[in-house]
Structure 1
C-alpha cells in the first residue's frame, strides 16, 4: 500500500469575504488531494478559517457586534466557497472550536515545559493587517513618509506585557532544515528564508493583553495567544493532537502545507520552531505559491477590481475555472487572469479540443455501431496513438503533478489530445464507414480507449465533467484511478457485458462573453 498523504491549505482569515486568491489556493490543494487519491493513496485534506486576532476584533467592533458573530458569518462564506468549487476536504476547521483551543493550549504547555517561554515586556512595531511583528530594519517608507511593513501595510508601535518564545535558540536547527532539499519550495522562497534566518533571529512575542479575542494562555488568563501560534496549530488539531489518535499516527507529519508566498516565514521559521520546541515531527514540505493578479494588477478595494470567485464560477462553470487556474499559470509564480483569458483557454482546450474529441468519438460509436463496443484488431497507427496517450496520462502528467508543475503536466495532456484529433483527421472514420466498416470500428475503439485515459488523467482538475463523461462511457465509479490507465480490463468488461452507449451529451460547452467584452 502507498503511504498515506496529508495536505493542508493555509486556513483563511475571514475578516472579509473570499477573494480570488483564496479560491486559487483551495483549487490547487484539491487537485493535489484528488491526484494523490487517484494514485491509490489514502489522503487527508484539511482547510478552514483562522478566526482570532486583533484584526477580527477591530472589524467586529467597527460593525457593532461581537467577534464571534463576525467569525460565524464569515466562516460560512469560506465554507460555501469550498463547497461550490468542489473542494474535497476531509475537515473544514475553525479555530474557535473547542478541540482547537485544547490543542493550542497543549502545544503551549509543551513549549513551556521545554523552557522556551518566558514573560517580559514587548515594545515594537506590529501590523494589525498582517498580524505580524517587524524589526525596524524591515520597515519601508510610504509615500507620505509613514512607516510600513514589507507588505506595505500600516504598523503601530505596541507596548505591553507579553510571553516570549525563544526563537533565537532555534536559529541553527532552522538553517539546517531550510537547507534540506525539498522542505521549502520553490527555490526563491527557500533562499529568502535562509537569508532571513541567517540575519539573526530575535525571540518572538507570542501573547497579547490588549484584547481578549483568542485562545487563553494556560495559567495567564489575562493573555491570549499570538494569533499565529493558534493558527498554525490547526494542522495538528485536525488529527487529534494532543491525543494519540489513529489520524495522528497515520497522517502526521504533513506531506504538504500549501500556502501563499506572503506567509512563508510563519510556516518555515515559526512553525518548525514551535514543533521542535514541543518535540513533534516537522512537516515534509511547504510550498509558497504566487499571487493571482487581475489583468496584471493585485486586487484591492481602492482599485475597485476585487473579484468574487463564486461569481466567476457561476459565470464560467466550476470545472473551466479550475482548469484555467492550473493550466494558465506556472505554479509558484504570480499569474494573471481575466474573463477573456478564461474563455479563450476553456474554449480552445476543453470545448474545442478535448470536449469535441470525446463528443465526436462517442457520437460516431452511437450512430454507426449502435453504441456497442467491440474487440478489434488494431494496426500500428492505433497502437502508436494508444502509447502516446498512455505515456502522457500515466507518466508525463503524474510526474509533473507530483512536482506541483500543474501547467507543464496539463501541457503534456494537451499534446495527447492534439495527437488524438490529428489521428481522427488522418483516419477519417466517417469515410471508413462506407469503405471499410471493420477498420472504422478499430479506429473508434482506439479513440474510445484514449478518451477514457485522457478523462481519468485530467479528472483531478475537472472532476465533475470527467465523471459525467466517464458515466456515459460506462466506466464504474470505483475504477477511475490512475491504475486504470493502460489497463484494458475495463474495456474488455464493457464488451463482455454488451454495454451500449446512449446518445452522448457534451460535457464542455463553449463559453461566451457578454457583448461588451471581447475574447
Structure 2
C-alpha cells in the first residue's frame, strides 16, 4: 500500500468529559484496529479532533457565564487525558482553534464550495428566542424530530441521524431559557446535497454499510437528499467567508466532517486508498453523507468503511459513567477489555458496575492467576530460567492444534473486513482458560516418582502461549502485554500470527512478577 489506511473517529464536542459510552463506541475499537494493522506492518494514519465550535460548547459556556474558548480548552484537556489513560494513540488530533492554518483552510474550502455552486444562499425560517435575543441552532434549540418524533436538538437528530433545519422541529423552544421559539425568516448558506444524489447512491451501493446505516442512506436516496444549513448567525466559530455574511459562523456539523480532511492533510499529501470511520449512529450523517459529499465536490471519490456503534449507557446513572474515574480505578486493560466485550455494535448495551467488577475478576483470577502460577513454577522448578526443552506435556499436541486454529480466528476477528473486537475478547479468554487447564493438569508431572524433568516441557509450552499473548492480546490490552513482555524478556508488538507462539530463548531468566500483569 503506497498510502496508509486512514482511520478516523468522530470528533467529540469538548463540552463535557468522556463517558464510558464514548470509549465503548468509536475510540477503543478504532485504536484496536490501528494497533493490529501496525503490528502487521501496515501503514496507518489514525486521526480525530475536537469539535470546538459546536453549539453545545457555546450553550455550556452561556449557562456557566464563561467564554466558549475557555470551556472548549478545559474539556479538551480532560478528553485528551481520557484518551491517554485509555491507551488510545492518535497520529493527529485536530485542534480547530490552535492548529496553524486551520481557520484559513476551512474558510477556503467553504469559499470554493460557494464559488462552485455546491453551497448556495437560501432564505428560510429559523428559530429565534426573543427572551435571549438570540438565533437558535444546534444545542441552543430543542423540540421534536420531524422524522422520528424523538426529542432532538437543532441540526441533527441523534436518534434517527437525520438532519433538521431547526425550524422543522415540532414545538421548538430555547435550549437556554426554555421559552417558546419564534420562527423568523433569515438568509443562510446551504449545502445542496441533491446535486450529488447519483454519485452518493453509487458510493453507498458499493460500500459494505452496516444494515441500519444502509437503511438511512437508501431512504435518503429514495426521498431525496436534503439541503443542509452549513452556516448560522452567531459569534462562536469560524466566520463564513461570503460577502455580507460576516456575522455568520460555519456550522459545527460541516466542520466536524471537514476537520477529517485537514487532519489527513488533504491538500498536502496523497489521499489514502480507503477510509475506515468509527462513530456512533447518531453522528453518521456527518461522516457517511457530508464527508463523501465534500470529497465529491472536490472531485474525489474515496471508498469508506463504517464501523457504527449504538448507545452504551450507564444503567446506574450518569454519575457512574465518567471514563477517567473508571480508568483511574480499574486501569486501561480492564476498561478496554470490558468495553470491547460489551461494545454495542448492533443494539443498545447497558453499562453496569457489577459487570465491570466481573471483568476485573476474570483478569485477576483467570489471566493473572495462570501467569502467577506459571512464573512461580519456573522459579521453583528451574531457578527462574526458561527450560532448555521443547514445548510439550500431556495434551500439548491437541492444545497446539487448537491454538493454531485460534490464531486464524483471531486474525479474522481483528481484520478490517471482518472486524469483531467482541469476538477477539472471547477467543483470548478461551486461549487463557484452556492453557490454564493444561497447566493445572501437567502440574502433577513434577510429583511423579520418575519425574526426571517431565514437567519442564509443559512449562516451556505455557511460556510459548504467554509470549504469544504479548502479540495476540496487544491491540486489546497494550499496557498489560508490555508488562508481560518485559517479564518474559521479549519485545512486544509482534504481529498476530502463529509465529508468536514461541517461548523466550532457553536459559532466559524471567523477571519476578511484582504485581498484576493485566489490570490492577
With normalisation by structure 2, the TM-score equals 0.85
Residue 487 to residue 451, structure 1, CA distance change in 2 (3 Å): closer
The answer (yes or no) to whether the contact 1:293–1:336 under 8 Å persists in 2 is: yes
User: Which residue is equivalent to 2:72?
Assistant: 71
Instruction: Give per-residue Cα distances to partners, 1:305-350, cap 9 Å, x unaligned.
Output: 46211111122222101110012335343212211101112312x2
Residue 141 to residue 454, structure 1, CA distance change in 2 (3 Å): closer
Unaligned runs of 5+ in 1: 512-519
Q: Secondary structure at the match of 2:47?
A: strand
1:277 aligns with 2:303: no
Residue 254 to residue 433, structure 1, CA distance change in 2 (3 Å): farther
Instruction: Give per-residue Cα distances to partners, 1:497-518, cap 9 Å, x unaligned.
Output: x32113233435787xxxxxxx
Tell me the CA shift for residue 376 of structure 1. 2.2
Q: Secondary structure at the match of 1:138?
A: coil
**Distance in structure 2 (CA, Å) of the matches to 1:45 and 1:325:** 20
User: Which residue is equivalent to 2:42?
Assistant: 41
User: Which residue is equivalent to 2:194?
Assistant: 168
Residue 158 to residue 69, structure 1, CA distance change in 2 (3 Å): farther
User: Which residue is equivalent to 1:217?
Assistant: 240
Unaligned runs of 5+ in 2: 128-134, 161-168, 173-180
**Distance in structure 2 (CA, Å) of the matches to 1:318 and 1:132:** 37
2:211 to 187, 194, 205: 187
User: Which residue is equivalent to 2:20?
Assistant: 20
Residue 166 to residue 141, structure 1, CA distance change in 2 (3 Å): closer
**Distance in structure 1 (CA, Å) of the matches to 2:249 and 2:8:** 25
1:455 aligns with 2:470: yes
The answer (yes or no) to whether the contact 1:372–1:500 under 8 Å persists in 2 is: yes
Tell me the CA shift for residue 118 of structure 1. 1.7
Instruction: Give per-residue Cα distances to partners, 1:397-449, cap 9 Å, x unaligned.
Output: 12112223111122122222222122123222563575323321111101110
The answer (yes or no) to whether the contact 2:477–2:518 under 8 Å persists in 1 is: no
- Greater CA drift, 270-279 or 252-261: 252-261
**Distance in structure 1 (CA, Å) of the matches to 2:409 and 2:402:** 10
User: Which residue is equivalent to 1:437?
Assistant: 452
1:252 aligns with 2:272: yes
Q: Secondary structure at the match of 1:105?
A: helix
1:446 aligns with 2:446: no
Residue 336 to residue 136, structure 1, CA distance change in 2 (3 Å): closer
The answer (yes or no) to whether the contact 2:157–2:282 under 8 Å persists in 1 is: no
Residue 510 to residue 307, structure 1, CA distance change in 2 (3 Å): closer
Tell me the CA shift for residue 41 of structure 1. 1.3
2:261 to 217, 236, 245: 236
Tell me the CA shift for residue 274 of structure 1. 1.7
User: Which residue is equivalent to 2:225?
Assistant: 201
The answer (yes or no) to whether the contact 1:31–1:461 under 8 Å persists in 2 is: yes
The answer (yes or no) to whether the contact 2:6–2:44 under 8 Å persists in 1 is: yes
The answer (yes or no) to whether the contact 2:393–2:458 under 8 Å persists in 1 is: no
1:362 to 359, 368, 375: 375
Tell me the CA shift for residue 192 of structure 1. 2.5
Tell me the CA shift for residue 113 of structure 1. 4.0
Residue 253 to residue 232, structure 1, CA distance change in 2 (3 Å): farther
Tell me the CA shift for residue 171 of structure 1. 1.8
The answer (yes or no) to whether the contact 1:107–1:278 under 8 Å persists in 2 is: no
Instruction: Give per-residue Cα distances to partners, 1:331-376, cap 9 Å, x unaligned.
Output: 343212211101112312x222222222211221121111222342
1:6 aligns with 2:19: no
- Greater CA drift, 447-456 or 111-120: 111-120
**Distance in structure 1 (CA, Å) of the matches to 2:262 and 2:402:** 45
1:387 to 388, 401, 420: 401
Tell me the CA shift for residue 483 of structure 1. 5.7
1:265 aligns with 2:285: yes
The answer (yes or no) to whether the contact 2:48–2:263 under 8 Å persists in 1 is: no
The answer (yes or no) to whether the contact 2:279–2:309 under 8 Å persists in 1 is: yes
User: Which residue is equivalent to 1:102?
Assistant: 104
Give the superposed CA RMSD: 3.0
User: Which residue is equivalent to 2:132?
Assistant: none
Residue 405 to residue 487, structure 1, CA distance change in 2 (3 Å): closer
**Distance in structure 2 (CA, Å) of the matches to 1:136 and 1:385:** 55
With normalisation by structure 1, the TM-score equals 0.85
The answer (yes or no) to whether the contact 1:124–1:134 under 8 Å persists in 2 is: no
Aligned length: 485
**Distance in structure 2 (CA, Å) of the matches to 1:233 and 1:510:** 38
1:312 aligns with 2:326: yes
Q: Secondary structure at the match of 2:101?
A: helix
The answer (yes or no) to whether the contact 2:273–2:302 under 8 Å persists in 1 is: yes
